[in-house]
A = this chain, B = another copy of it.
Amino acid sequence: MLRRVVFPYLGAKSDRVIQGPGVGEDAAVIDMGDRVIIAKANPITGAEARIGWLAVHINANDVAACGAKPQWFLSIVLLPEGADESLLEGIMKDIHEACLELGISLIGGHTESTPGLDKPIISGFMMGEISKDKYVTTGGAKPGDLIVMTKGAGIEGTGILATDLSDRLLPEVGREVLERAAELLKRISVVKEALTAVEVGGVHSLHTPTEGGVMNGIWEMAEAADAGVVIEESAIPRAEETRVICEALGVDSLRLLASGALLIVVDPGKAGELVSVLGESGVVASVVGEIRPPEEGRHLVKGDGERTVIEAVAQDELYRILDEYSTEDQ
């Protein structure tokens, strides 16, 4: 759909645009001579708690996935008509807190009451910069590179399931797991690991998997590089809370909303050092697979040796399971 009704309409051509819109690319890259500006725009439209905090982190992740420290944020906050001033203040405090966590300045934006809204919507715009010889794209993977993944599969999705389906999950998984799972939402930032990876060096591609989970993120990364890939399922890190909750609901954690994990495609000679430096900084990371020539295809190798093809994920497991339960409610 993007290829049909969006990509043909990109305005004037510019030599300064090193990277514009593309499937799976995390952000735009603009040539500034000795350095590049990285820019990204994402909205938060769900009624989640702490949308101001999320809007900063989701946009920061995409800028960091180009190797750049996110630095400058603009926010457009649209409020339901008649919303209390405290709603706006809560959102602004959350934006402020997330900005302080990452050293980002809020430099502008817009706030208004918008007729017809029943909940607030935030559109976030993040900018960062990095020297021109150091920025990283999603599509830079080369055959032989190793794929390092951080933190775990389905982190954001696990947190949302623990919150939204807590009544259904409580008898089976217990209160302690639910509470720890909800806390996973605080771990969706990948800025620290992205900047650490760029510092260690040898990074050919960074990508933040989101909708469609880790599997879709791996597919996007391989697609952007026109590469094959082989992934060892048993090597994919997964929080205990994710395993327990996904089992209880019959959800595939590898196809579950994945913000919080970072895919790092790295020169094989650097992978060991990277995993160890990340570990020392408190970020769990594992080598989960390897980039292969395109003709070898894209495969996930299960524990028993069975190989399945990795394809784009049409529907995130989160939406499937939330739909299922909301239908049962009716």
Residues 2-21 of A contacting B (Cβ, < 8 Å) = 2, 4-6, 8-14, 16-17, 20-21
Bound Cα distance A43, B45 (Å): 14
Q: Is the CB of B118 within 8 A of A41?
A: no
Q: Is the CB of A39 within 8 A of B72?
A: yes
A76 in the interface, Cβ–Cβ < 8 Å? yes
Instruction: Give the shortest distance, in Å, between A286 (CB) and chain B (any CB).
Output: 30
A100 B17 Cβ-Cβ under 8 A: no
* CB of A116 closer than 8 Å to a CB of B: yes
Could you tell me the distance in whole angstroms from the C-beta of A124 to the nearest C-beta in chain B? Answer: 9
B-facing residues in A179-237 (Cβ within 8 Å): none
Interface residues of A in 93-121 (CB under 8 A from B): 93, 95-96, 98-100, 102-112, 114-119, 121
Interface size class of A (residues with CB under 8 A): 35 or more
- By the criterion CB–CB under 8 Å, are A111 and B6 in contact? yes
Contact of A41 among B11, B20, B76, B117 (CB under 8 A): B76
State whether A28 and B108 are in contact (beta carbons under 8 Å apart), knowing that A5-B85, A71-B14, A85-B1 are contacts in the complex: yes
Chain B residues, Cβ within 8 Å of A111: 2, 6
Bound complex: CA of A41 vs CA of B75, how far in Å?
Answer: 7
Asked if A125 is at the interface of the complex by the 8 Å CB criterion, the answer is yes
Determine whether A74 belongs to the interface, using a CB cutoff of 8 Å to chain B. Answer: yes
Q: Which of B32, B92, B95, B114 contacts A45 (CB 8 A)?
A: B114
Asked if A301 lies at the interface with its beta carbon under 8 angstroms from chain B, I say no
Complex alpha-carbon distance, A21 and B105, angstroms: 11
| A89 CB-CB contact with B under 8 Å | yes
Q: A residues engaging B (CB < 8 A)?
A: 1-2, 4-6, 8-14, 16-17, 20-21, 27-28, 30, 32, 37, 39-43, 45, 71-76, 78, 85, 88-89, 92-93, 95-96, 98-100, 102-112, 114-119, 121, 123, 125, 127, 129
10 extra interface residue pairs, beta carbon distance < 8 Å, beyond A1-B85, A5-B89: A8-B96, A9-B96, A10-B96, A10-B99, A11-B73, A11-B99, A14-B105, A41-B108, A42-B110, A43-B112
